[in-house]
Structures are given as C-alpha cells and as structure tokens.
Amino acid sequence: MFTGIIEELASVSSLKLQGENARIVISCSVVGEGTREGDSIAVNGVCLTALDVTPRSFAADISRETLERTTLGGLEPGSRVNLERAVTPSTRLGGHIVQGHVDARGKFISAEKSGDFWTVKIGFPPELARYLVFKGSVTVEGISLTIAKLNNEDLEIAVIPKTWELTNLSGLKPGDPVNLEADVIAKYVERILTSAGSPDGGVTRETLERAGFI
C-alpha cells in the first residue's frame, strides 16, 4: 500500500523488452535506502517489485498486463519517474490509500499557472467516471491529488508549488498519457451495492428497510 506522497523524482536508466515482458532499471538517490530485494516501490503509480537493489538503483520486471494497461512501456532512458516506497505501520498517511494498481490511462491536457500554483487538466476514459467525485481523491502518475473540478471527460486538480517541483507533472506535454488510479473505497462500495452474488442480490431499498435504515 502507498499514500500517493512522492518521495523522489528519479530517472530511467534502461528499459529492455524480454519477449512479452520487460525489465526496467531506475537510478535513484532516496528510495534505495532501506529497500530490500522484493520490496514494493510505486513507479509513476505502478506497484513494482524491487530487484537488484543498490543505494543508487533498482530493477523491476514488468509483465505484459502492466505494459498494456499503464504508461511504463513508453518510458525510455532519461525519462523522469515518480517513486514512492510502500508504507510502514509508522508512516503518516499524508495522501490517501493507494494500491499501485492502475485502473486506466488518462491524458494530460493542459497546465495553467496562477501565481505559484498550477491548474492541471487531465482527461479520463468513460469507465473511470463513476469512481470520480468532486473533492474526492485520485492518483495521477502515483501522486495523490484532490479533484477541484469534474466534467464528463476530464478533471482539474490544483497543484501546489512543491508537488510541481518534486514530480514529473512539470515535464508532461499536452497529449501525454498518464496513469490513473481511482480511490479503492469507491470500487468496494460499488461492488457491495451491485453484487448479484450476495444473499440479497446487493443493497436495495428493501434490504435497507429490513435493516431499519428507512
């Protein structure tokens, strides 16, 4: 589990295809500290297993499913990536609960500066719309962000100077793909409300009445 609070803006050393899969090597200066073989690290919001860990780099294997669903397959040497190590029991949950399981690719539309702050517009696919709410949380490239404006096909987020400086948002161009993860709580609530496999066929007005809520 992650929080969406980026620890380091690092760079890709190499990305090599291995049949339908790939191996990525990332140069870093922060997340290598205390990381052991097999630990989880979120790379642009994608949960990967760290391999060949050194204080200055780590590698990770990327499956075909991950290459197809996320933007990692489009990275190249020198690409900047957002990194976050998995939380520990003593970690402050400064963002929201992030699994590192990307739901879809979105599109970076624009970034407009107002003073020291930025308003970033992100397009999202139709299947993600039902999980997004005004003032709710969304993960973009592994960054925990709050939706400031929500339309049918895009959303806006207010980005503080620190986030702009320490993440790869500042390097994105209009049309660039981005990794999106919806708040996991929304997905569980939807499942509970609509599950046909539950004894009562999901939550209905009748089940709420029987439980005394209506």
User: Contact, 24 vs 60, CB < 8 A?
Assistant: yes
Instruction: Give the start-end residues of each E strand in 19-135.
Output: 21-27, 40-43, 46-49, 51-54, 57-62, 80-85, 104-114, 117-123
Pull the structure tokens for residue 78: 């020198």
Reply yes or no on whether the pLDDT at 211 is more than 70: no
For the entire predicted model, the pTM comes to: 0.86
74/94: higher pLDDT = 74
The H-or-E segment that residue 34 falls in is: none
Determine whether 127 is exposed, middle or buried from the number of CB atoms within 10 Å of its CB (0-12, 13-18, 19+). exposed
Per-residue pLDDT of 80-115, as tens digits, reads 999 999 988 777 777 888 999 999 999 999 999 989
